[in-house]
Every structure is written in C-alpha cells, then in structure tokens.
Amino acid sequence: MEGIWVLAEHTAGQLRRITLELLGKGRALADARGSRLVALVLGHGVEPLAGPLAEHGADGVLLADHPSLASYGVEAYTHVMSRAIHEHRPWAVLVPSTANGRDLAPRVAARLGAGIVTDVEDLWVEGEQLVARRPMYTRKAVGTVAFVGDGPRIAVMLPKVFPPADRQEGRRAEVRRLEVNLETVPVRTRVVERREVRRERVSLVEAEIVVSGGRGLRGPENFALLEELAAELGAAVGSSRPPVDSGWVPHDYEIGQTGKTVSPTVYIAVGISGAPQHLAGMSGSKYIIAINKDPNAPIFQVASLGVVGDLFEIVPRLVAAVRRLRARA
C-alpha cells in the first residue's frame, strides 16, 4: 500500500474533522501522482472507521487494531507507525497537527530518517518533488520547503486550512489489518489521569467562528458576554494573552505565538489591540472583525471589518442582532 497516506485521528469512535481535511488534500495529491490514497488508523475497535474513511476518499485503509493502542502512547504508536511506513513505503504521509500528531510525527521521522515538515498550510507535487509552504517568524514570513532525497516524507498539517473531503456515499476501500506486535516495545510512559477542559460547543482550533476577548474585557465575569455571543453563533471562545495571565480564562483559550493558531472563517477580536504576538495566531483567519474603542489600534490594520466603539455597548446588541437575523433565516 504505497501512495499517499493519511494518519487518521479519531476520538470517541468518530474521525476528527482534521482527518477529513487531510483526506481532501491527500486525495488531490494522490490524483496528481496517479497513486492511491491510504488511511492509516491506530486504535482499538477501529474497524467501523473504515467505512467513513472510504466514503471520504481513501482507496485503502490500514487498521492497526490492538488493545494497547486504545489510547495514544508515544512508544507503541511510534513503533507501529514506523513499522508500517518501513514495510509499505508510502511516498508521503500526512499527519494532523494535533497534540498527539506533533508528539508522534517527529519521533517517527527520527526513527526512519524521514524528511519532516510541520505547520504545513499548503502542499503540492512539483515533478518528482513534494513541496510545502508554512508560516514562520510568527507569521511575518512564509517559507517554501522541498523534501529532498528518497524515503518517506512526513507533513504535519495545520487544521482548518484545507476544506474537509466531501462524503461520497457507498464508496468503498480495500481494508487490511496490520499485524501488531508490541511485546518487544518498552513502554516507559503511562497516562495516569485525564482531565477535561470543558467546552460548550466546538473546539477552538476547529471552530468556524471564533469570538476572542482581550484585556479590554476588564475581568473574568465579562467573558460571559462573549460566551453568549458565541452560543448564538455556534462559535468557540478564545482570548489574547492578558486574560490568561490574569487567570480569567485557562491557557487553553490563548491564541497567538505562545498559544494556539486558529484559522476560522470569522475571527471576532473584542477588546484586543492586535500585538504581533497575537496576530501570529490568528492572521490566517479568512475574515477578521475587530471591536475596539481606540481607532488607532493595530488590529484595525488586519481587520476585514473594524468597528470603533465600546465593546460593552456593542456586544449585547450584537447578540440581539444575530438572534434576529437567525430567526428570520
């Protein structure tokens, strides 16, 4: 099963949205090379995922199904993935840029001596070469990087950059089970506990709309305003850094150089000045709406729509306005 591979991440028996995004991009690459698109799945009881993977463009599905793979562990996952790549020699492997993808991919690359590029926001074939583009220097530059030499190419792909693959009902794939033998693999890391950070709706990096608050919110209680707006829009709530440092919201909310990178369709910056370190995490958004009382705030330089005004007056009325429009739609 050579060709283009996608590492299919899943959670609670469902493919993650980013997996569908990678299948879309992977399909285009496979077509460009006239080769097959193969999804690699690690987990336990993952056979039911083969159907949806096929319907989203996979020609082949490789299942590594084993009780010890039920949850992510770096040693077992590195072993299984490296073995699979070594044996089947895919031309390129696309890995989602998630906490586990970023933990796993570099280690696999090191084991195999593979080329690896992370934070990929575009990927294409040029002759026999695979070429990637990635933001660098806190998004103040864009680097174009080519894989050289033979052997596996590993691309760790940013979320929300590629549209998810369309579902084609009834599409089928060749499904194969990988032999998994973990007896010789030393396991020196063990998860002893998992704590949830509760989110009402979608995750921050996967959200179509992000409502983000900054120091202008003045206190934790005012994040309720943003929550209300987000609920109306089906959005996720994020923040700049000061609300995190002041303990108003958890670090999980932070967007920017030292937080998350998000690329939603709409980013609504509320009471955020637009420091370069914040822009580093959100300037890839399709549309940016900024609400700020300072007409000279740098955020207005990147805003698709900038609104000068007091957030405490505007946001509650925006909630009402959105509600009205949705009622009409």
Ligand X SMILES: Cc1cc2nc3c(=O)[nH]c(=O)nc-3n(C[C@H](O)[C@H](O)[C@H](O)COP(=O)(O)OP(=O)(O)OC[C@H]3O[C@@H](n4cnc5c(N)ncnc54)[C@H](O)[C@@H]3O)c2cc1C
Instruction: Tell me: does residue 137 bind another protein (CB under 8 A).
Output: yes
Dihedral sign for Cα 68, 70, 73, 77, please.
positive
Task: Specify the 3-state DSSP secondary structure of 72.
Answer: coil
Considering only residues 178 to 217 of the shown chain, the ones binding ligand X according to CB under 6 A are: 214-216
3-state secondary structure labels for all residues of 74-132: HHHHHHHHHHHHHHHCCCEEEEECCHHHHHHHHHHHHHHCCEEEEEECEEEEECCEEEE
Query: For ligand X, which residue of 35, 100, 246, 277 counts as binding (CB under 6 A)?
Result: 277
Look at residue 22 and give the partner it binds from ligand X, another protein, none, a contact being a CB closer than 5 to 8 Å depending on partner kind.
none
Q: Count CB atoms within 10 A of the CB of residue 313.
A: 11
Q: Which two tokens stand for residue 23?
A: 């299948």
Instruction: Tell me: does residue 310 bind ligand X (CB under 6 A).
Output: yes
Instruction: Tell me: does residue 75 bind another protein (CB under 8 A).
Output: yes
Among the listed ranges 27-35, 86-94, 140-148, 170-178, the one in contact with another protein (CB under 8 A) is 140-148
Q: What does the alpha-carbon distance between residue 25 and residue 126 come to, in Å, rounded to a whole number?
A: 15
Nearer to ligand X, 129 or 258 (CB): 258
Instruction: Tell me: does residue 194 bind another protein (CB under 8 A).
Output: yes
Instruction: Tell me: does residue 324 bind another protein (CB under 8 A).
Output: yes
Look at residue 34 and give the partner it binds from ligand X, another protein, none, a contact being a CB closer than 5 to 8 Å depending on partner kind.
none
Dihedral sign for Cα 131, 277, 273, 253, please.
positive
Q: How many residues bind ligand X (CB under 6 A)?
A: 27
Bridge-based pairing of strands 122-126 and 174-177 is unpaired
Among the listed ranges 61-69, 177-185, 212-220, 298-306, the one in contact with another protein (CB under 8 A) is 298-306
* CA-closest candidate to residue 12, choices 68, 73, 70: 70
Instruction: Tell me: does residue 258 bind ligand X (CB under 6 A).
Output: yes
Look at residue 96 and give the partner it binds from ligand X, another protein, none, a contact being a CB closer than 5 to 8 Å depending on partner kind.
none
Question: Residue 211: in which H helix or E strand, if any?
Answer: strand 209-213
Distance of closest approach, residue 197 Cβ to ligand X, in angstroms: 17
End-to-end CA distance of the chain: 48
Q: What does the alpha-carbon distance between residue 34 and residue 208 come to, in Å, rounded to a whole number?
A: 33
Contact predicate 171/197, CB 8 Å? no
Q: What does the alpha-carbon distance between residue 15 and residue 56 come to, in Å, rounded to a whole number?
A: 11
Look at residue 183 and give the partner it binds from another protein, ligand X, none, a contact being a CB closer than 5 to 8 Å depending on partner kind.
none
Considering only residues 216 to 235 of the shown chain, the ones binding another protein according to CB under 8 A are: 233
Q: What does the alpha-carbon distance between residue 298 and residue 300 come to, in Å, rounded to a whole number?
A: 5
Instruction: Tell me: does residue 242 bind ligand X (CB under 6 A).
Output: yes
Instruction: Tell me: does residue 134 bind ligand X (CB under 6 A).
Output: no
Instruction: Tell me: does residue 241 bind ligand X (CB under 6 A).
Output: yes
Instruction: Tell me: does residue 115 bind ligand X (CB under 6 A).
Output: no
Q: Count CB atoms within 10 A of the CB of residue 76.
A: 21
Look at residue 252 and give the partner it binds from ligand X, another protein, none, a contact being a CB closer than 5 to 8 Å depending on partner kind.
another protein
Distance of closest approach, residue 245 Cβ to another protein, in angstroms: 9
Look at residue 23 and give the partner it binds from another protein, ligand X, none, a contact being a CB closer than 5 to 8 Å depending on partner kind.
none
Nearer to another protein, 75 or 228 (CB): 75
By CB under 6 A, name the binding residues for ligand X: 214-216, 240-242, 254-259, 271-273, 275, 277-278, 281, 291-294, 297, 310-312
